Amino acid sequence: MAVKFFSPNNPFGALAGWELQTGANPSETEQRAAALGEDGDEIAWKGYGKDAALSCTFVATAASGYLTLPDAGAVVGGAHIDSISVAYNQEGFPIMTVNGHKHIDGTGHTTPCRRYRASVKLPAKAIGCPRLIECVSPSTAKAFMLTPAAKIDVRGMTYTLGCTHVDEKNAEGGHLAGDNYDGVETLSVELTGEADPTEFAVDSAWHLGTDGRNNSNTTATTSSLALEHHVAHTPVTP
């Protein structure tokens, strides 16, 4: 096969407001069954259950409004979206990573799976990190926000959305069917400065699991927050 340049491929369908950077980077894995002889040495083997892990990165092209995210659990052309993450930084555009898988042996994902949709609105920014993450419902709720009087600021933020995926094998060890349960969102916030609880607010529906500090003799003190929220599946017509 000839050497290829500049040829990323997106197996996850059209994503408005995003420009493909890398992908699909398939990594195929096949399980192996073996039989041993009476002396303990292998006498036969056979591969089964082959599938491919897929991963793409995208850069945001929208500079205002809100970012559009795919649903975790969606199936596009047999490719199942396992998780989505969006990373903000102080010096660049938002980057989205979409991870998924596709079954090669068996029937693949031929029927829809449960889908999970983001419960927050991620702001589109040409550069930098948001100081406020609003909830979809109720529209007045804020999953995270810096208070107006805060002396600290956001240095990095990553939002993730995923679900637990279950696959069942057919009689020959190939794929028969799969589905999802327990959608989970997380929000990781990195702050410049030693955050005081009066300087940020977290919505009551989100669990603040980590509130940490990082101290150094050569850098500013930083703080890290880890938030978690579980979401129910959304009835979506495929």
Q: DSSP secondary structure string, the chain?
A: -----S----TT---TTEEEEE----EEEEEEEEEE-TTSSEEEEEEEEEEEEEEEEEEE---SSB---PPBT-EETTEEEEEEEEEEETTS--EEEEEEEEE-SBS-S-S---BB--SEEPBP-SSS--SEEEESSSTT-EEEEE-TT-S-EEEEEEEEEEEEEEEEE-TTSSEEEEEEEEEEEEEEEEEES---GGGEEE-TTSEEEEEEEE--SSS--EEEEEEEEEE--B----
Q: How confident is the model at residue 10 (pLDDT cuts 50, 70, 90)?
A: very high
Q: How far apart are CA 120 and CA 98, in angstroms?
A: 17
pLDDT digits (tens, 9 = 90+) for 81-93: 999 999 999 999 9
Task: Please say if the pLDDT value at position 106 is more than 80.
Answer: yes
Cis, bond preceding 124 (omega within 30 deg of 0): no
What is the pLDDT, as a whole number, of residue 37?
97
Residue 235 has pLDDT above 80, yes or no: no
CB contact burial 127-142 (16+ within 10 A = b; e otherwise): ebbbbebbbeeeeebe
Higher pLDDT, 139 or 166: 166
- Name the band, by pLDDT with cuts 50, 70 and 90, for residue 126: confident
Q: Is pLDDT above 70 for 236? A: no
pLDDT at residue 238 tops 80? no
Has this prediction a pTM greater than 0.85? yes
Q: What is the mean pLDDT of residues 44-70?
A: 96
- List Cα–Cα distances, 172 to 28, 51, 105, 220, in angstroms: 19, 14, 9, 58
Give yes or no for a cis peptide into 238 (omega within 30° of 0).
Answer: no
Largest CA distance in the chain: 75
CA–CA separation, 37 and 111 (whole Å): 41
Q: What's the mean pLDDT when you consider all of the chain?
A: 94
Residue-level pLDDT at 110: 86
Across-strand partners of 87? Answer: 95, 158
**pLDDT at 237 > cutoff 70:** no
How confident is residue 2, by pLDDT bands cut at 50, 70 and 90? confident
Given a cut of 90, whether residue 19 has pLDDT beyond it is yes
Between 214 and 120, name the one with better pLDDT. Answer: 120
* Model pLDDT for residues 177-208, shown as the tens digit of each residue: 999 999 999 999 999 999 888 999 999 999 99
Structural Rg of the chain based on CA atoms: 22
CA 206/CA 229 separation, integer angstroms: 5
